[in-house]
Amino acid sequence: MAMDERTPTRRARLRVETSREIKTIALKLLAEGGPGAITLRAIAREMGMTANAIYGYYATRDDLVNVLISEIYLSLVEAAEAARDRVPVEDAAGRMLAWARAFREWSLANPEGFRLIYGDPVPGYQAPVGGAASEAGHRACAGLTGLVAAAWPSAEALQSEDAYDWPDFDPTLVGLIRAEFPDLPPTAVALALRVWGRLHGLVSLEIYGHLRGQTTDPGRIYRTEIHDLIRSLGLTPPPRTPPG
């Protein structure tokens, strides 16, 4: 019987496995030595390969970093989207809480990935035009803005007197927001950025170890912050889940 053309050949499977191992070792080097430790030669040494063999998978170190950032960021966004979508659309508070929890859980499970996306720059790295993870970035932006758009009917009256106009924001961001949320005003975009900051801030402190000497339960601090954020939008946080 002829081999199904859709069935990967052994050579193709080995290439996928080797590529996956290269990415795993790159993240290991990042964790152990910081972003400057990610080099194709260092990865080749770890794998017992020649540098030339690694170049057969990634022509440059920046090509590898591009792939890492894109795949890792997409993994984060998919986890947040999946958590949000398990909550009914009409439950704006529950969906925001689900997104926030998923963001923290993913980040703690993937600290090296978090650092690569949001933290330490890789020395000498040049991102491609449009960024290394344009799709993931677009989805993250749309996801957070969508959470704010759902809360906007109650949040609008609670905003400060600071007025924002479209020129206050990056033109690319403005184009994205106005295309996907045509009824959302500039002040709501500012709110979405502030929400992003509050979701991200404590997680970043936790990932980099700055909360460990300050509290025995950073998760509780984060829950309190997110519940406070939800209330600041005029929403009622979901009931707290009793400790299991």
Give pLDDT, residue 244.
Answer: 38
pLDDT bin (cut points 50, 70, 90) of residue 241 is low
| pTM of the predicted protein model | 0.87
| Residue 1 predicted with pLDDT over 60 | no
Who has greater pLDDT, 242 or 142?
Answer: 142
Q: Give the orientation angle of helix 10-33 with respect to helix 40-47, to 10 degrees.
A: 110
Q: Which of 96, 220, 197, 228 is nearest to 149 (CA)?
A: 96
- End-to-end, the C-alpha distance of the chain in Å comes to 54
Q: Give the orientation angle of helix 186-207 with respect to helix 134-155, to 10 degrees.
A: 120
Give pLDDT, residue 5.
Answer: 57
pLDDT bin (cut points 50, 70, 90) of residue 4 is low
Provide the phi-psi class of 128: left if phi over 0, else alpha when psi is between -120 and 50, else beta.
Answer: beta
| Residue 220 predicted with pLDDT over 90 | yes
Q: Are 87 and 94 in contact (CB under 8 A)?
A: yes
* Residue listed under structure tokens 């924002």: 164
* Helix %, strand %, coil % of the chain (to 5): 70, 0, 30
